């Protein structure tokens, strides 16, 4: 099938590459000329395991192409995906200007029937707004062309985006249009093999399903972070509690890892956006507000440990940091907990000496060159002459360090662990002071 994807970011590019792998012809459109030129030159703008090979394969087979030409993109596919960003507005609600701009491009250039599929995460009611843009523009153009608007939210996780798109848990189709449903069932046939993963519902329910999923996951994390704070005060070990509750299948082991707060481009913004959507209806989401507040507080946890350790005086200290991205296997720094920590450390007069396997360039881009930020090439180099070590992201390569090297390099044998990678008793045996989440001292 011929498909156009507007927006070549995490969602658009991965989705396009995976559709091409399944044999569809995909034209990707982006307004960022550098991004398009890079992709045309074989440079992948984001780090995502498996993506580069898949994009190269799609291009080599002539199934994947990139352009800034919106009109050409509209002419290409009967199916038109919108996969552009929906960043938070100043008040926290989702900014729809990119989504509506794509709707307008499609409406301005279409000369044949189109199914417009919204993959971006959008507030309930956006489908109606997209329909309104199409209806009004086509009326102005005096064109009576058939179109359908579908909500098809995306559930991929960064770091596992390719695998998630190749083998989705579910494919949500928000539509009441049989023509659109038939085309999308055909498109997704290669991904819907062993059992039927397609769930058809109305557009508003599909839009809310996406927010409900992310908010449920964020709620699990904030709940566990609250329990971890309680465990510390009560002399319990949250890791034992996690095992104890996860074994109940009604609770499950997924997404109950306590830590230094959730980050990324989605949970923080989607929780905020749903709070705003609810406010617009006059409903006060007490639970979601607490989820957000607990998370914001948790992001200060590691700095709190450091303040405690240095009795409030961090001036002139050098803090080694392992892991800067908001989670492993990505270079994405959006809303990363490491940023809250680094900014607090700088304010307190400390220097950061950091290593991340993928996010160094992005960190440099965000903060530029500054005397109190040293980005170094290996995890060992981050330790040299540092006072203590903080772990912000649980990259695999941080899980079994040589503790004798750590002890040799650090001025003090102190590890502040935001991801509970080690056993406190073992670290104590090795002579470390170990601060972790919800594990006591």
Q: Which stretch binds ligand NAD (CB under 6 A): 28-36, 286-294, 338-346, 424-432?
A: 28-36
Binding mask 326-365 for ligand UGA (x = CB under 6 A): xx--------------------------------------
In the complex with ligand NAD, which residue's Cβ is closer, 81 or 322?
81
Q: Is 265 in the site for ligand NAD (CB under 6 A)?
A: yes
In the complex with ligand UGA, which residue's Cβ is closer, 127 or 264?
264
In angstroms, what is the minimal distance from the CB of 242 to ligand UGA?
9
Which of 25, 27, 35, 127 contacts ligand NAD by CB under 6 A? 35
In angstroms, what is the minimal distance from the CB of 120 to ligand NAD?
3
Which of 98, 262, 267, 422 contacts ligand NAD by CB under 6 A? 98
Nearest Cα residue to 158 out of 12, 11, 366:
11
Q: Which stretch binds ligand UGA (CB under 6 A): 18-26, 230-238, 258-266, 299-307?
A: 258-266
In the complex with ligand NAD, which residue's Cβ is closer, 155 or 346?
155
Q: Is 267 in the site for ligand UGA (CB under 6 A)?
A: yes
DSSP 174: E
Q: Give the per-residue SS3 of 260-295.
A: CCCCCCCHHHHHHHHHHHHHHHCCCCHHHHHHHHHH
In the complex with ligand UGA, which residue's Cβ is closer, 287 or 405?
287
Q: Decide: helix, strand or coil at residue 207.
A: helix
CB 134 within 8 A of CB 107: yes
Which of 266, 321, 375, 406 contacts ligand UGA by CB under 6 A? 266
Which residue has 């899980």 as its token pair? Answer: 399
Which of 158, 239, 358, 362 contacts ligand UGA by CB under 6 A? 158
Q: Can you say which residues are annotated as belonging to the binding site for substrate?
A: 155-158, 210, 255-259, 263, 327
Q: Can you say which residues are annotated as belonging to the binding site?
A: 30, 35, 86, 121, 155-158, 210, 255-259, 263, 269, 327, 334
Nearest Cα residue to 306 out of 419, 412, 423, 429:
412
Instruction: Pick one of ligand UGA, ligand NAD, none as the site partner of residue 367 (Cβ within 5 to 8 A by kind).
Output: none
Which of 124, 218, 266, 271 contacts ligand NAD by CB under 6 A? 266
Return phi, psi of residue 283, to 5°: -100, 135
d(CA 374, CA 432): 24
DSSP 112: S
d(CA 109, CA 29): 14
Q: Is 157 in the site for ligand UGA (CB under 6 A)?
A: yes
Q: Is 81 in the site for ligand NAD (CB under 6 A)?
A: no
**Residue 165 is a catalytic residue:** no
d(CA 380, CA 33): 38
CA 188 centroid distance within chain: 23
Total site size for ligand NAD, rule CB under 6 A: 26
CB 224 within 8 A of CB 238: yes
CB 427 within 8 A of CB 415: yes
| Burial (Cβ within 10 Å: 0-12, 13-18, ≥19) of residue 299 | buried
């Amino acid at each position: 099938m011929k498909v156009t994807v507007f927006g070549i970011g995490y969602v658009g590019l991965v989705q396009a590459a995976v559709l091409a792998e399944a044999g569809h012809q995909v034209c990707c459109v982006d307004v960022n000329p550098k991004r398009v030129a890079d992709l045309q030159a074989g440079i992948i703008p984001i780090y995502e395991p498996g993506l580069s090979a898949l994009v190269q394969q799609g291009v080599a087979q002539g199934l994947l192409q990139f352009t800034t030409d919106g009109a050409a993109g509209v002419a290409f596919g009967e199916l038109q995906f919108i996969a552009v960003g929906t960043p938070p507005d100043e008040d926290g609600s989702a900014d729809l200007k990119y989504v509506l701009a794509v709707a307008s491009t499609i409406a301005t250039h279409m000369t044949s029937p189109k199914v417009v599929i919204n993959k971006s995460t959008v507030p309930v009611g956006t489908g109606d707004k997209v329909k309104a843009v199409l209806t009004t523009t086509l009326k102005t153009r005096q064109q009576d062309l058939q179109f359908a608007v579908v909500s098809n939210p995306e559930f991929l996780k960064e770091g596992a985006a390719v695998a998630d798109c190749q083998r989705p848990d579910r494919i949500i189709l928000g539509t009441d249009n049989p023509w659109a449903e038939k085309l999308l069932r055909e498109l997704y046939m290669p991904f819907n093999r062993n059992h039927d993963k397609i769930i058809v519902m109305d557009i508003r329910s599909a839009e809310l399903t996406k927010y409900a999923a992310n908010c449920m996951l964020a709620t699990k994390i904030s709940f566990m972070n609250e329990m971890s704070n309680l465990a510390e005060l009560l002399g319990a070990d949250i890791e034992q509690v996690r095992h104890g509750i996860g074994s109940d299948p009604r609770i499950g082991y997924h997404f109950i890892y306590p830590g230094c707060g959730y980050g990324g481009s989605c949970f923080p913004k989607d929780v905020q956006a749903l709070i705003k959507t609810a406010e617009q209806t006059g409903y006060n989401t007490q639970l979601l507000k607490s989820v957000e507040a607990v998370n914001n507080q948790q992001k200060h946890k590691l700095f709190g440990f450091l303040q405690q350790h240095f009795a409030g005086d961090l001036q002139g200290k050098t803090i080694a940091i392992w892991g800067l991205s908001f989670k492993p296997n990505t270079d994405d720094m959006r809303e990363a907990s490491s940023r809250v920590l680094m900014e607090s450390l700088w304010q307190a007069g400390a220097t950061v000496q950091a290593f991340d396997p993928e996010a160094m360039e992005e960190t440099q881009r965000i903060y530029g060159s500054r005397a109190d930020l040293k980005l170094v090439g290996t995890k060992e180099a981050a330790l040299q002459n540092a006072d203590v070590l903080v772990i912000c992201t649980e990259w695999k390569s941080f899980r079994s360090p040589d503790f004798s090297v750590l002890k040799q390099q650090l001025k003090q044998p102190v590890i502040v662990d935001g991801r509970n990678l080690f056993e406190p008793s073992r670290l104590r045996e090795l002579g470390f002071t170990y601060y972790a989440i919800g594990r006591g001292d």
